[in-house]
Structure 1
C-alpha cells in the first residue's frame, strides 16, 4: 500500500473509533458504545423528552406508554412501562440502546437477550444535569447537552426573579399522587419551589417523594396546595383537611393532565414547570 493509502486507512480507522464511549449508568454498570446509537427505545418519559431536546428524536423507534411529548413520539410504538414493558415488541424493534429507569423490572430480561441497556433515573436537579450530560455523551451531542443545561438553569432563575415578593415565603404542599405522595425538598420539584422562594412543608430528610400520613399535612398547615386534577377531588374529604389554611382560603392550584406531565418529569421542560408553579403562586397571593 502506498504512503497516501496508509494515511487514508489510518484516518478512516481514527474516524471509525473516535466516538467510542464508555458510560456508567445509575446502577454503576459500564455501558460501551462503539458509535452513537441510531435505534433507541426509551421507557421513561423524561428520557424520551431529553433525547428529543438533544435533537435526536429521529433515532427513537419506540417509547413507553406515557411518553407523549413532543407530539412526534405519539406515533411511535408504545411498549409499556416500569412494570409491564413488552419485551417481545422491544426486541422486534432491534434497538441498539434501551433507555429506562433504574427501577424498571424488565432490565435483566433485556440484557439476557443481548440488548444494550442504560438505566438513568433523575430525581433532583443535579440528576437532571447529570443525565443530560450522559445522554449528550451517548448521542454524540455533548456540546448541545451542556448548552441546554445552562439554558434551563438560567431560565429557572429568570422565572424566580420575576416572582413578586408577596408570593414568596409561603408554606407549600405539592401532591404528586394519591396516598398521599408528596414532592419533598430533595426532589427536583421541591428544589424548584425552593428557588421560587417557597417553603416546602416536606423536609428533605423524608426523601424526594415520600408517602405521608395525611395528619402530617394537617399539622404542617400549608398556605398553598398544588395538586393534579386527578387527585384534587379527594382533598376536602380527608379527615381534618378542611381546617388546613390552603383549603379554608381556597388557595389550591389544580393542574391539568398536560400541566402535570410538565411538572413531574425531570427534564428539558423544567423552565416551563417553574413558570407553572410561579403562576400558581402569583395568582393565589396577589
Structure 2
C-alpha cells in the first residue's frame, strides 16, 4: 500500500518545486521594474533610467552645482566651460573634486550654448542635464537616443521639485529629499518673521547694468517676494530697461546688485539723490556662487534680502549662522 502512494508523493514534491522556481524567476522582473529611476522634467516629459546615471553631462552652470550637492560629482563626464571661468564656483568645486580642480572634465558647451554634438556623443552620457528653454538642442540630443532631463529653476517650489527629480535619476533620492526638506523648513521659519510694513527692492542686472532689472513673474521677482519684500518693478517683463526718472518714481527702499560692485551705483551722479543711495541701502549679493537663485540656494538669496531689508527682525548674526549651517548640509562639509 505504501509503494502505491510513492507516485502521488513524488508528483506533489515536483509541483511544489515548480511553483518555488516560478516565484524565484518572476521576482527579479518585478523588482527590476520597481527599481526604475523616473523623474518628470520641466517640459513635463517623463525621463526613465534602468539604473542611476553613471555618465552625466551638464550643460548649464547652476545644474552642475546640483550634481555636487547630490554628491555625484565623480560621475560628471561633461560640464559647460563657464564653470572653469567663474572663480567662486571653480575654487569651491575644486576642493570637492580633484578631476574638476585639474579641469579634466570635458567641456562640450559654453553654458549650454554652442554645444559640440560630436564631443558630446564621444562622452557616451547616459544622462544630459540642461536648461529647458534649449528645446531645439534637446530634440536633437533625444533624436540621437540620449536621455535628457531639462530644468528651469524658476520659483522655489519648482526648483525643489526638479532637484528631487534629478536626485531620483542619480539614485540619490534620500539625499535630495533631505536637502529639500531642510529648505522647506527654512522657508517656513522665514515666513514666520513678518515685518510690520513690507519694503520694496530694485534688482540690478549683472555687469553694471544699473537700469536693467527683472519684472513681475520672473525668477528674481520670486526670490525677492520669498524674502517678504516687494519687487519695486511693477512691469510684467523678463528684463526691462528703464529710465532714471522711472527709478526715482518707483523709489525702492533698497537696491540689490548681482555681480556689480556697490561703487558703480554710488558713482552715478544721476542717482545721487535716490533715497536708497542716500541712505546707503545698496547691497551686492556675494559671493554669487553661494546665493545662486537658479538652485535650491534661492532660499539663501531670499534670506540675504530679508536680512538687508529687516535687520532688526532678522539679524546679521542669525543670518551668518544659518548660512554656515546650510553650506555644511548642502556639501556635506
**Normalization by structure 2: what TM-score?**
0.70
CA contact (8 A) 1:110 1:117 kept: yes
CA contact (8 A) 1:183 1:202 kept: yes
Match of 2:295 among 252, 267, 272: 267
Question: What SS does structure 2 have at the residue aligned with 1:280?
Answer: helix
Number of corresponding residues: 280
Match of 1:107 among 121, 124, 138: 138
1:264, 1:187 → 2: CA distance?
Answer: 15
Shift in CA distance, 145/130, structure 1 to aligned 2, threshold 3 Å: same
CA contact (8 A) 1:184 1:202 kept: yes
Residues 1:20 and 2:36 aligned together = yes
Question: What SS does structure 2 have at the residue aligned with 1:115?
Answer: coil
Question: What is the CA distance between 1:122 and its match in structure 2?
Answer: 1.4
2:247, 2:81 → 1: CA distance?
Answer: 32
Match of 1:226 among 245, 253, 256: 256
| 1:9 matched residue in structure 2 | 25
> What is the Cα-based RMSD across aligned positions, in Å?
3.2
| 1:86 matched residue in structure 2 | 116
CA contact (8 A) 2:190 2:303 kept: yes
Point out the more displaced range, 90-99 or 169-178.
Answer: 169-178
| 2:309 matched residue in structure 1 | 281
2:219, 2:180 → 1: CA distance?
Answer: 14
Shift in CA distance, 192/102, structure 1 to aligned 2, threshold 3 Å: closer
Question: What is the CA distance between 1:174 and its match in structure 2?
Answer: 1.5
**Normalization by structure 1: what TM-score?**
0.80
Question: Of the two, which has the highest radius of gyration?
Answer: 2
The gaps in structure 2 that reach 5 residues or longer are: 1-16, 84-88, 316-333
The gaps in structure 1 that reach 5 residues or longer are: none
CA contact (8 A) 1:159 1:274 kept: no
